[in-house]
């Protein structure tokens, strides 16, 4: 396995191990356990003197291939595949904290991520401060003596704000805290948090990594020392392990990740440009456009735009519903990163549980709409949007 392979090559060949049959595609090892030739072999395996698997909750061959392939892509030393993105996020945060510790997190978080730090962690005596993560001074001001973890997503959901990851990592290193980045929206192709100084990266593999709407999955990646010290035992004994069947689905999914993300980004960028020239649209936020409010940070830390577009219709909820209902190819769904183009109205779906005030803080209004570009022909998507926009009252 060559570390110098470029992503498209890594994602087809990385981590593959073949059985005695020499199968072309990765094999699915749907087994709970493993057998040993002798008692002494079992003893040696349990002592860690020989390599090999012990029990599927700890690790198994198909999952191992998925973890190694993700490590290669991310430039990480080690990884653990989890049953869902939220299993990855909650494990990455909770495994390294104890009562009395403090988290600083950006307030613009995926709903369940926000629940983990804002509601669950305090039940165990872990305090959390939520900040407007766009400004580094807010992170600095929130630091306490017991701050151990900084947690963020960038770009954020749904308003595609970005956070200066290298800047947050510098602050964290000054106090010995760890930066955990949920990198779902950027995808591993457009942003490398570990290279920017973050310590731990998490993904919901449910999104672009599967990319075809089939299964849930997640992954936590970091250096070996952090995984050994914090995640290894937590993962083994709390049991968030990914199903080997899903690991196999995701292994096949990531083979085509670069092709899909390229097409999705091109489609997203064309739709963003169309919307920006439309009088019924108040504003368009797209990380690939020069008019993104934080274009300077994007130029420093991302190598591509986004597969998502956020925009605000002047006509509020009524206009947003009219547009969504008039689209024929683009389907209404709160999911994202799929081969199919999807659209959602955050105020009434993904962000309905927030107070009006919290939604306003995040820039989510009644007219805010989030579009996740699929891999369809871009001309068809443009025609679908043009036709649907014509039906929205001006
Ligand atoms: C979807 C998502 C998650 C949760 O992932 P699941 O696989 O649904 O558990 C976490 N963070 C972000 C940014 C997401 O988009």
Q: Assess whether pLDDT exceeds 90 at residue 249.
A: yes
Sheet containing strand 127-131, strands side by side: 78-82, 218-222, 200-204, 178-182, 147-153, 102-106, 127-131
SS3 212: coil
Ligand 1 pocket residue status of 157, Cβ below 6 Å: yes
User: Does the C-beta of 153 come closer than 6 Å to ligand 1?
Assistant: yes
Evaluate: CB of 294 within 6 angstroms of ligand 1.
no
Ligand 1 centroid to 218 CA: how many Å? 8
Fold of the CATH domain 2-254: 3.40.640
Q: How confident is the prediction for the chain on average, in pLDDT?
A: 97
Ligand 1 proximity of 184 Cβ (cutoff 6 Å)? yes
The mean pLDDT of 341-359, rounded to a whole number, is 95
Task: Tell me, in angstroms, the distance from the centre of ligand 1 to residue 301's CA.
Answer: 22
pLDDT bracket for residue 40 (50, 70, 90): very high
Confidence band of 394 (pLDDT split at 50, 70, 90): confident
CA dihedral (283, 286, 288, 294) in degrees, to 10, reads 80
Q: Kindly state the average pLDDT of the residues 179-197.
A: 98
How does residue 393 score in pLDDT terms, banded at 50, 70 and 90? confident
pLDDT tens digits, one per residue of 304-331: 999 999 999 999 999 999 999 999 999 9
Residue 191 in this model has a pLDDT that exceeds 90: yes
Identify any residues that bridge with 285 across adjacent strands, giving them in sequence order.
310
Ligand 1 pocket residue status of 85, Cβ below 6 Å: yes
Structure-token pair, residue 285? 């936020």
Quick one: pLDDT at residue 4? 85
Phi, psi of 233 (to 5 degrees): -70, -40
CB-based contacts of 137: which residues, under 8 Å, 6+ apart?
Answer: none
Query: Do residues 362 and 130 make contact, with C-beta atoms less than 8 angstroms apart?
Result: no
Out of 82, 206, 216, mutate this one to test ligand 1's pocket (max ligand atoms within 8 Å of CB): namely 206
pLDDT-derived band at 2 (thresholds 50, 70, 90) equals low
Q: Taking 80 as the threshold, does the pLDDT of residue 239 lie above it?
A: yes
Range 257-390 has CATH code 3.90.1150.10: yes
Would the CB of 179 count as within 6 Å of ligand 1? no
- Residue spans of the domains in the chain: they are 2-254, 257-390
Asked whether 184 and 337 are in contact (CB, 8 A), the reply is yes
The burial of 40, by beta-carbon neighbours within 10 Å (0-12 exposed, 13-18 middle, 19 or more buried), is given as exposed
What pLDDT sits at residue 322?
A: 98
How much is the pTM?
Answer: 0.97
Q: What is the distance between the alpha carbons of residues 347 and 345, in angstroms, rounded to a whole number?
A: 6
pLDDT, residue 276, reads: 98
């Amino acid at each position: 396995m060559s570390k110098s392979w470029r992503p498209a090559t890594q994602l087809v060949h990385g981590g593959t191990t073949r059985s005695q049959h020499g199968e072309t595609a990765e094999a699915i090892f749907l087994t709970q356990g493993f057998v040993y030739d002798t008692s002494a072999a079992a003893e040696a395996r349990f002592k860690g003197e020989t390599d090999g698997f012990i029990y599927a909750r700890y690790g198994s061959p198909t999952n191992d291939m998925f973890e190694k392939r993700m490590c290669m892509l991310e430039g990480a030393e080690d990884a653990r595949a989890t049953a869902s993105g939220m299993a990855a996020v909650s494990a990455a945060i909770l495994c390294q904290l104890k009562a009395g510790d403090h988290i600083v997190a950006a307030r613009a978080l995926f709903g369940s991520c926000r629940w983990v730090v804002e509601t669950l962690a305090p039940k165990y005596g872990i305090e959390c401060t939520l900040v407007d993560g766009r400004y580094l001074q807010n992170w600095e001001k929130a630091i306490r003596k017991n701050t151990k973890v900084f947690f963020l997503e960038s770009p954020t959901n749904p308003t595609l704000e970005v956070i200066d990851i290298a800047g947050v990592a510098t602050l964290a290193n000054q106090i010995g805290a760890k930066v955990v980045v949920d990198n779902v929206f950027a995808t591993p192709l457009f942003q490398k948090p570990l290279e920017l100084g973050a310590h731990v990266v998490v993904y919901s593999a449910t999104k672009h990594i599967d990319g075809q709407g089939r299964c849930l999955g997640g992954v936590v990646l970091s250096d070996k020392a952090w995984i050994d010290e914090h995640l290894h035992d937590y993962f083994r004994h709390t049991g968030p392990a990914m199903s080997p069947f899903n690991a196999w689905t995701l292994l096949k999914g990531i083979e085509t990740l670069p092709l899909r993300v390229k097409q999705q980004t091109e489609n997203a960028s064309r739709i963003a440009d169309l919307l920006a020239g439309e009088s019924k649209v108040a504003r368009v936020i797209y990380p690939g456009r020069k008019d993104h409010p934080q274009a300077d940070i994007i130029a420093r830390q991302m190598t591509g735009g986004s597969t998502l577009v956020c925009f605000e219709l002047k006509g509020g909820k009524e206009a947003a519903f009219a547009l969504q209902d008039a689209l024929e190819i683009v389907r209404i769904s709160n999911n994202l990163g799929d081969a199919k183009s999807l659209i959602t109205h955050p105020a009434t779906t993904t962000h309905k549980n927030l107070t009006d005030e919290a939604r306003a803080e995040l820039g989510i209004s009644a007219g805010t709409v989030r579009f996740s570009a699929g891999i369809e022909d871009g001309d068809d998507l443009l025609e679908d949007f043009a036709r649907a926009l014509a039906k929205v009252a001006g």
